[in-house]
Amino acid sequence: MFACETLEHAPMAPAGAGRTQAVRVMNVLYVSFTEQAARPYLDASTRYRCFHAVEAARALGHRAFITTQAALRTTDPALFDLVVVHRPAATPELVRFLRAGRAAGTRLVADYDDLIFDAAYAEASAMSASSWNLPALFERFKRNKDALTLFTEFTVATAAMRDRILELHPSAAVQVLPNAVAPSLWSMIASRSYQHQTQRPCIGYFPGEAANGSDLAIAAAGLAKLCRSRRIPLRIVGPTQATPAALRGVEVERMELLPFSGMFDALSKCRVVIAPFKSSPLNRARPQTGLLEALLSCTACVATASPDAARHRDGLTAAPVSLVDDGGDWAAALEERWDGFDLAGAMGARDALVRRSGAVQVYTPLFGAV
């Protein structure tokens, strides 16, 4: 299931290998600070920001591996030309690792797909919604911000994150590398059948974590209006909070959180999916992964407007996407997508999206081709 080997199972090169060769084949290591240390691919952030990046590095001719923070104690940064640390938190082991890496001349980069380094957004974060221990939460954000100061080079998922890092760290070098489609992901979805018309039509909602369930309330009134008038069921896949009162009278189907591959099967059975979220600087800076995955599934999507959502939609002819601004009309947007869906157009938009968001293309500025 893994897109690439982890460091623990990869053959290790001798110290300094690749550094004196005329051809710039690099040894690359991605380090994830995920809580899913045993199975990091299950963490969506690690999957897109680490596994997909390593696939791109290998496709470009480099030697690339993945590990987690738990392995830093036994990992020698001198073995690598480039180390990218995803969502770092300041720990003694990280400080030691970075110090050793700088002494060895290793290029050290921090990678972010969330403003977890900015304590101003701690209470608005998904972690706050699932924790009553605010002092511990603020301490966690402080460790993240402390880690930010340990780096001078960064890769981020959105332009808004780049801008915030530069406000906090004006001398930083920051590249925007959006969430990308790895070759393994494309091969998994390219030959799938699309069942929007053969199954009982439904609207889908795929909250990635329980804290996101409150976002459903933003779309609830418009969603209820369309679902009740057309007798359309709402299918909720994954954890969520209590169903908003506005959805009373709507047929709601619930499914457990699915494995990554199973999620695409479920997406392809929805005629429309929704991706609502509370409007805040934190959320507007995030990558709109739900919209990306809907487009890859050739499924129409109605999402809260954000810069990353607009980036996915813009320039894609016939993209089955509607974006709703704060206070916008979710009912009208849903009706437009429900009645105007064109599978051929959706497939064309998906293919164009993959061409411009392929992991090799996105990550070439960081790795370069051998």
Q: What is the mean pLDDT of residues 231-236?
A: 95
**Among 104, 94, 113, CA closest to 50:** 113
Most confident stretch, 173-187, 198-212, 256-270 = 173-187
Q: Tens of pLDDT along 214-229?
A: 789 999 999 999 999 9
Tokens of 41: 């691919």
**Among 300, 281, 306, CA closest to 194:** 300
Q: What is the mean pLDDT of residues 60-88?
A: 95
Give the Cα separation of 104 and 111 in Å (integer).
21
H-helix or E-strand spanning residue 235:
strand 234-237
Please check the confidence at residue 74 and state whether its pLDDT lies above 80.
yes
* Backbone phi and psi for residue 106, each to the nearest 5 degrees, phi listed first: -75, 135
Tokens of 254: 């619930």
185's torsion region: left (phi>0), alpha (psi -120 to 50) or beta? Answer: alpha
CB 288 within 8 A of CB 306: yes
Please check the confidence at residue 43 and state whether its pLDDT lies above 90.
no
Give the Cα separation of 74 and 31 in Å (integer).
13
**Which residues, 6+ apart, have CB-to-CB distance to 123 below 8 Å?**
134, 137
Domain boundaries, given as residue ranges, for the chain: 7-177, 186-356
- Which of these ranges, 29-33, 51-55, 341-345, has the smallest mean pLDDT? 341-345
The predicted structure's pLDDT at residue 215? 87
What topology is assigned to 7-177 in CATH? Rossmann fold (3.40.50)
The predicted structure's pLDDT at residue 47? 95
| Burial state string for 211-226 with b = 16 or more CB within 10 A and e = fewer than 16 | bbbbbbbbbbebbbbb
Q: Quick one: pLDDT band at residue 94, thresholds 50, 70, 90? A: very high
Q: Tens of pLDDT along 163-187?
A: 999 999 999 999 999 999 999 999 9
CB 80 within 8 A of CB 109: no
The predicted structure's pLDDT at residue 131? 52
29: amino acid identity, one letter: L
Q: Quick one: pLDDT band at residue 58, thresholds 50, 70, 90? A: very high
Domain 186-356: homologous superfamily in CATH: Glycogen Phosphorylase B; (3.40.50.2000)
**Comparing 129 with 196, which gets the higher pLDDT?**
196
**Which residues, 6+ apart, have CB-to-CB distance to 133 below 8 Å?**
none
Q: Quick one: pLDDT band at residue 281, thresholds 50, 70, 90? A: confident
Instruction: Tell me which residue has tokens 């976002």.
Output: 215
**Which residues, 6+ apart, have CB-to-CB distance to 78 below 8 Å?**
15, 16, 100, 101, 103, 104, 106
Angle at 223 between CA 279 and CA 196, to 5 degrees: 110
CB 94 within 8 A of CB 69: yes
- Encode 45-93 in three state secondary structure: HHHHHHHHHHHHHHHCCCEEEEEEHHHHHHCCHHHCCEEEEECCCCCHH
Across the chain, mean pLDDT equals: 86
- Which of these ranges, 50-59, 103-112, 232-241, 247-256, has the smallest mean pLDDT? 232-241
**Comparing 38 with 105, which gets the higher pLDDT?**
105
| Strands of 212-313, DSSP E | 234-237, 252-255, 272-275, 300-304
169: amino acid identity, one letter: H
Pairing state of beta strands 321-324 and 300-304? parallel
Q: DSSP assignment, residue 120?
A: G
The predicted structure's pLDDT at residue 123? 59
In the chain, the percentage of residues whose pLDDT exceeds 90 is 61
The predicted structure's pLDDT at residue 8? 41
Q: DSSP assignment, residue 186?
A: H
In DSSP terms, 324 is beta-bridged to 304
Instruction: Tell me which residue has tokens 């020698």.
Output: 76
Q: Tens of pLDDT along 136-164?
A: 767 777 888 889 999 999 999 999 999 99
DSSP labels, 8-54: GGSPPPPTTTTSS-SS-PPEEEEEE--S--SSGGGSHHHIIIIIHHH
**Among 112, 133, 191, CA closest to 350:** 191
Total residues belonging to the chain: 370
